[in-house]
């Protein structure tokens, strides 16, 4: 159970203000979802759609967008309850995941590596030659940081993360378990009837405030840089090919595959299982819906669906027509029968 142990007044201070209806001294021992919260727990009402559910909640206190007149518990009225609840969850997560500020005796840290202050390096972790680990970084057990790679301040590598050589990771980056950064790009050519490997000797550069999900792979560039822009969030089981340049604040949902040498503009959204072919440009603010696959450039702010990806309105018309195919087939057979007669 996520522990909190704070008064409603203290919570108000943490989330940046709000109006309390009830007792400021009520202690929220922990947090829970709206439907499961008990008398000593805090939950939240995301927006007006959940007001009716809130009235029947057993929660001792709620973060709410407006006062709920017939709710029996305490209320903290804030402009954005979901955001405020997220602030509290961040505090809880920080406490739950706090690590000792030490280099574990079973870690292998090369003497030429540069280690910042208040760093945690876990058991079995490896930090190679000339690597740099920034202040307050956490390198969990069995993670790997390769030669000449850099981790910015406050960055966390969860267990089993592999950051290979010549990778630059910014500040406040979070990389989940099993992810590999800097693996070879898929580069081969035909030579005398066999596949000849083209070595990938470029870099990966990851900006600040990026989060990368579990079991994701980001390939290094052939010669230059694969770039992930500031604030981009990448889900689990994704693949980003070599030489890609991903913009800022891009959302890449789980199981997305982006082929090599793709340029992605700022604030693009790749929904789950979507992707694109190589050497394309995805314009700023574009959206690729779930399972959509782009085989040509996507204009800025476009909304694309389907495989191959098409304008959303056109794809919806095509899908509507497909649902009528059995009926259309019967009509066509009937007409054909009359014509044959």
Show which of 42, 66, 96 is a domain's final residue. Answer: 96
Residue 294 lies in a domain: yes
Mapping DSSP to helix (H, G, I), strand (E, B) and coil, where does residue 320 land?
Answer: helix
Query: How far, in Å, CA of 212 to CA of 254, rounded?
Result: 10
pTM: 0.91
Same structural domain, 268 and 295: yes
Q: What is the pLDDT of residues 15-44, one digit of tens each?
A: 999 999 999 999 999 999 999 999 999 999
Q: What is the pLDDT of residues 52-103, one digit of tens each?
A: 999 999 999 999 999 998 899 999 999 999 999 999 999 999 888 899 999 9
* Inter-residue contact 140 to 122 (CB < 8 Å): yes
CATH number at residue 68: 3.40.1390.10
Using pLDDT thresholds of 50, 70 and 90, give the confidence band for residue 219: very high
Same structural domain, 80 and 146: no
Same structural domain, 252 and 197: yes
Query: How far, in Å, CA of 235 to CA of 257, rounded?
Result: 11
Residue 196, beta-bridge partner list: 189
Element (H, E) at 76: strand 74-77
Residue 226, beta-bridge partner list: 204
Q: What is the pLDDT of residues 94-121, one digit of tens each?
A: 888 899 999 999 999 999 999 999 999 9
Element (H, E) at 184: none
Same structural domain, 68 and 195: no
Indicate if the pLDDT at residue 233 is higher than 70: yes
pLDDT on residue 214: 98
Same structural domain, 137 and 271: yes
Same structural domain, 82 and 136: no
Residue 257 lies in a domain: yes
Percent above pLDDT 90 for the chain: 87
Mapping DSSP to helix (H, G, I), strand (E, B) and coil, where does residue 52 land?
Answer: helix
Same structural domain, 92 and 117: no
Query: How far, in Å, CA of 321 to CA of 3, rounded?
Result: 53
Same structural domain, 143 and 219: yes
How large is the average pLDDT for residues 218-239? 97
**Total residues found in the chain within this entry:** 341
Using pLDDT thresholds of 50, 70 and 90, give the confidence band for residue 176: very high
* Closest to 234 (Cα-Cα) out of 189, 278, 262, 268: 268
End-to-end CA distance of the chain: 75
Would you call 242 a catalytic residue per the annotation? yes
pLDDT on residue 224: 95
Residue 183 lies in a domain: yes
Give the active site residue among 140, 176, 239, 242: 242
Mapping DSSP to helix (H, G, I), strand (E, B) and coil, where does residue 95 land?
Answer: helix
Same structural domain, 85 and 115: no
Indicate if the pLDDT at residue 135 is higher than 70: yes
Same structural domain, 161 and 289: yes
Nearest 5°: the CA angle 109, 114, 116 is: 105
CATH number at residue 287: 2.160.10.10
* Closest to 155 (Cα-Cα) out of 146, 145, 164: 145
Domain that holds residue 57: 3-96
Same structural domain, 218 and 138: yes
pLDDT on residue 95: 87
Same structural domain, 44 and 113: no
Query: How far, in Å, CA of 61 to CA of 37, rounded?
Result: 9
Residue 108, beta-bridge partner list: 126
User: What domain count does the chain have?
Assistant: 2
Percent above pLDDT 70 for the chain: 99
């Amino acid at each position: 159970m996520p522990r909190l142990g704070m008064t409603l007044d203290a919570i108000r201070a943490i989330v940046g203000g709000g109006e309390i209806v009830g007792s400021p001294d009520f202690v929220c021992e922990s947090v829970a979802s709206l439907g499961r919260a008990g008398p000593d727990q805090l939950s939240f009402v995301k927006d007006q759609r959940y007001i009716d559910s809130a009235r029947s909640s057993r929660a001792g206190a709620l973060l709410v967008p407006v006062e709920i007149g017939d709710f029996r518990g305490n209320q903290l009225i804030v402009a954005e309850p979901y955001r405020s609840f997220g602030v509290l969850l961040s505090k809880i997560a920080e406490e739950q995941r706090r690590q000792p500020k030490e280099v574990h005796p079973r870690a292998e840290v090369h003497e030429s590596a540069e280690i910042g202050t208040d760093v945690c390096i876990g058991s079995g972790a490896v930090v190679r030659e000339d690597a740099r680990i920034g202040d307050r970084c956490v390198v969990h057990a069995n993670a790997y940081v390769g030669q000449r790679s850099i981790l910015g301040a406050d960055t966390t590598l969860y267990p089993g993360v592999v950051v290979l050589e010549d990778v630059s990771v910014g500040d406040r980056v979070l990389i989940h378990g099993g992810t590999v950064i800097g693996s070879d790009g898929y580069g081969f050519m035909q030579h005398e009837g066999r596949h000849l490997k083209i070595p990938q000797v470029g870099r990966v550069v990851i900006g600040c405030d990026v989060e990368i999900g579990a079991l994701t792979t980001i390939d290094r560039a052939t010669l230059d840089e694969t770039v992930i822009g500031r604030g981009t969030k990448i889900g689990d089981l994704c693949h980003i090919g070599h030489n890609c340049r991903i913009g800022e604040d891009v959302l890449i949902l789980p199981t997305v595959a982006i082929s090599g040498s793709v340029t992605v503009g700022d604030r693009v959204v790749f929904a789950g299982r979507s992707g694109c072919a190589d050497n394309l440009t995805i314009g700023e603010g574009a959206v690729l819906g779930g399972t959509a696959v782009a085989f040509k450039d996507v204009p800025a702010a476009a909304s694309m669906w389907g495989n191959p990806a098409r304008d959303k309105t056109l794809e919806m018309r095509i899908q509507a027509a497909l649902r009528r195919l059995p009926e259309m087939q019967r009509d066509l057979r009937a007409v054909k029968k009359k014509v044959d007669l």
